[in-house]
Amino acid sequence: MISQKTQKQFKQVATTGKYYTTTAAQQMINRYQEEEPDGLRSFMYGRHMFEMLLQAPQCEGIRIFNAFNEENNQTLIFTAADANGEHITNCALRTADGLVSYGDPITGGGGFCPFDCPKGGEGLEIYIQEMRHRTITDLATAGEMMPRKKAQEMIQAYQAYEPDGVYSILLGREIFDTILKVPGCAGIRIFNGINEDGLHCFIVVPINAEAGNILKYLTTTASTSNWVNAPLASGGILCPFDCPMSWE
The answer to whether residue 232 sits within a structural domain is: yes
Is residue 96 within 8 A of residue 138, CB to CB? The reply is no
Q: Distances in Å between the alpha carbon of 221 and those of 5, 142, 197, 226, 228?
A: 44, 34, 41, 9, 13
Mean pLDDT of the chain: 81
Residue 36 banded pLDDT, cuts 50, 70, 90: very high
Tally of structural domains, the chain: 1
Above 80 in pLDDT, residue 122?
no
- The string of pLDDT tens digits covering residues 50-83 is 998 898 889 999 999 999 988 888 999 999 999 9
Task: Give the pLDDT mean for 138-151.
Answer: 77
Above 90 in pLDDT, residue 236?
yes
Return the pLDDT at 201: 97
The answer to whether residue 144 sits within a structural domain is: yes
Task: Give the pLDDT mean for 138-159.
Answer: 82
Positive or negative CA dihedral for 116, 118, 120, 125?
A: negative
Above 50 in pLDDT, residue 130?
no
The answer to whether residue 233 sits within a structural domain is: yes
| Residue-number span of the structural domain to which 78 is assigned | 21-239
- Least confident residue range of 1-5, 69-73, 134-138, 205-209: 1-5
Q: Which amino acid is at 35?
A: E
Residue 170 banded pLDDT, cuts 50, 70, 90: very high
- For the chain, the three-class secondary structure string (H helix, E strand, C coil) is CCCHHHHHHHCCHHHCCEEECHHHHHHHHHHHHHHCCCCCCEEEEEHHHHHHHHCCCCCCEEEEEEEECCCCCEEEEEEEECCCCCECCCEEEEECCEEEEECCCEECCCCEECCCCCCCCCCHHHCECCCCCCCCCCHHHCCEECCHHHHHHHHHHHHHHCCCCCCEEEEEHHHHHHHHCCCCCCEEEEEEEECCCCCEEEEEEEECCCCEECCEEEEECCCCEEEEECCEEECCEEECCCCCCCCC
Is residue 214 within 8 A of residue 208, CB to CB? The reply is yes
Is residue 210 within 8 A of residue 185, CB to CB? The reply is no
240 upstream amide cis, omega within 30 of 0:
yes
pTM for the structure as a whole: 0.86
The answer to whether residue 247 sits within a structural domain is: no
The answer to whether residue 33 sits within a structural domain is: yes
Return the pLDDT at 223: 82
Residue 120 banded pLDDT, cuts 50, 70, 90: very low
Residue 178 banded pLDDT, cuts 50, 70, 90: very high
The answer to whether residue 123 sits within a structural domain is: yes
| Spatial distance between the Cα atoms of 127 and 54, rounded to a whole number of angstroms | 27
Return the pLDDT at 182: 96
